[in-house]
Amino acid sequence: MPQAKSVTAARLENNKVLPEDRPVHEWYRFVLSYPPHLVRNYLEKFGIGKEGLVLDPFCGTGTTLVECKKLGIPSVGVEANPVAHFASCVKTDWRPDPRRLTRDANKIADQTLDILRGQGLEDEPFQLNGNSHELLRLSPELNKLILTDSISPLPLHKTILLRDRLDALAPPALLGHLRLALAKAIVSHISNLHFGPEVGVTKPKPDAAAIAPWLTQVRVMSEDLAQVNGAAVVPSKVHLGDARSLSAHLEPASIDAIITSPPYPNEKDYTRTTRLESVLLGMIRGKEDLRTLKKELVRSNTRGVYKADSDDAFVEQHAEIQRIARAIEARRIELGKTSGFERLYARVTKLYFGGMHRHLAGLRPFLRPGARLAYVVGDQASYLRVMIRTGQILADIGQSLGYVVEGIDLFRTRLATATREQLREEVVVFRWPGLKRHRPGYSWKET
């Protein structure tokens, strides 16, 4: 197994978005997403130009896709989370006319403000004016899906009103951009959410503006579109789907490079991070929608584990994964931890790596010979402080499937919440040499 090494570009140690990279990337972005300059570094390292095709099978909010589009490189993404898939689709659609986007947004804002004033409300906080109008609210079922107190009643009323005005009045060619601007405004201004890096709720505020921050975000989008309009024709396609099952989305032997970051094996429920905007934009309409979404994800936390899950069967013979699972279970018993979630720690660890095995195995038919892959992953100690060297294990799984491990680059270190230790975040670099079956079964040979 190759030894871990540091990347040569010092800027990769910085996970922040550089000022010059903010256009489009900042429209809506996960906290702690890898930065655009990491994508550029690996595109250059892999020698990918405008004739190549780049895949991000865990594309999230589209960092790889947007950066490829800026550089004139065709790309394709796959994402199971509907709101992240939506964000990636919008962020790679640079066709809207910036002036029309601003003009139509202003009209919708004015109409929404007129309705608010008719209800005795203003968009500025604390302007109640003796309002007695019944506020718009979520159904009891939807209210149970969001974090308690994640949005206060008055801001929620304004948000629902604005959302409904958008759906009724916005031209179809602009609706996605206007709704994504609302998603950004919800998490950054309207709600009571905070990210540090986990999602949480601050002290609820009685009121907050909704139309003004949304309109500000629309104007940012318009300014960005005016900058990047020349690259609007660069193809970029985003599919809603499971990264463990790619056959419906990709052409055989079509992919030249992958730059991606799958979930890490920890207790972070990635659907929780986007739950509020997912519910408010109608992308999760009930418990069954949430269950369906979680089943499309690689199992990385105990809140997404189901009785019928079987990905762990793919790593039954992997000694290190089995050792870690036994260590987690032994620690649980030693500490007397008996909750249902704690009992699942060992199993979810095996399910996670089994899911990644499925993903890497299923990916092979779609890679061109010589394709290069970069997977951003992090070491974890969330399960009772048992260390999981994610990068090393992922590299070993890839090697067992016929990938050549070219290296494990140190991207950055981060402070573990539970142990206060510095954990490594790494980029596992693979090369697909081009393999073919020479007889039935699992035996492969290099061409």
- 84-119 as b/e, with b when 16 or more CB fall inside 10 Å? bbbbbbbbbbbebebeebbebbeebbeebbeebeeb
Residues 180, 255 within the same domain? no
pLDDT at position 2, please? 45
Find the domain containing 137 and state its range.
Answer: 98-230
Query: In angstroms, rounded to a whole number, what is the distance separating the alpha carbons of residues 366 and 382?
Result: 34
Residues 180, 328 within the same domain? no
Residues 71, 197 within the same domain? no
Residues 424, 365 within the same domain? yes
**The pair of three-digit structure tokens given for residue 413, joined into one six-digit string:** 């270190």
pLDDT at position 6, please? 42
Residues 199, 334 within the same domain? no
Query: In angstroms, rounded to a whole number, what is the distance separating the alpha carbons of residues 395 and 109?
Result: 51
Residue 357 burial (CB < 10 Å; 0-12/13-18/19+)? buried
354: domain CATH number? 3.40.50.150
pLDDT at position 419, please? 65
Residues 425, 319 within the same domain? yes
Helix axes 172-185, 98-118, angle to 10 degrees: 60
Residue 295 domain flag? no
Q: Taking the model in full, what pTM does it have? A: 0.91
pLDDT, tens digit, 9 for 90 and up, residues 16-74: 889 999 999 999 998 778 999 999 999 999 999 999 999 999 999 999 999 999 999 99
What is the tally of structural domains in the chain?
2
Query: In angstroms, rounded to a whole number, what is the distance separating the alpha carbons of residues 27 and 184?
Result: 7
Domain end call among 205, 230, 255: 230
Residues 132, 61 within the same domain? no
* Intervals of the chain under pLDDT 70: 1-14, 126-133, 197, 416-420, 435-447
Main-chain dihedrals φ then ψ at residue 373, nearest 5 degrees: -135, 140
Residues 201, 88 within the same domain? no
Q: What is the DSSP string of 181-215?
A: HHHHHIIIIISSEEESSSEEE-SPPS---SHHHHH
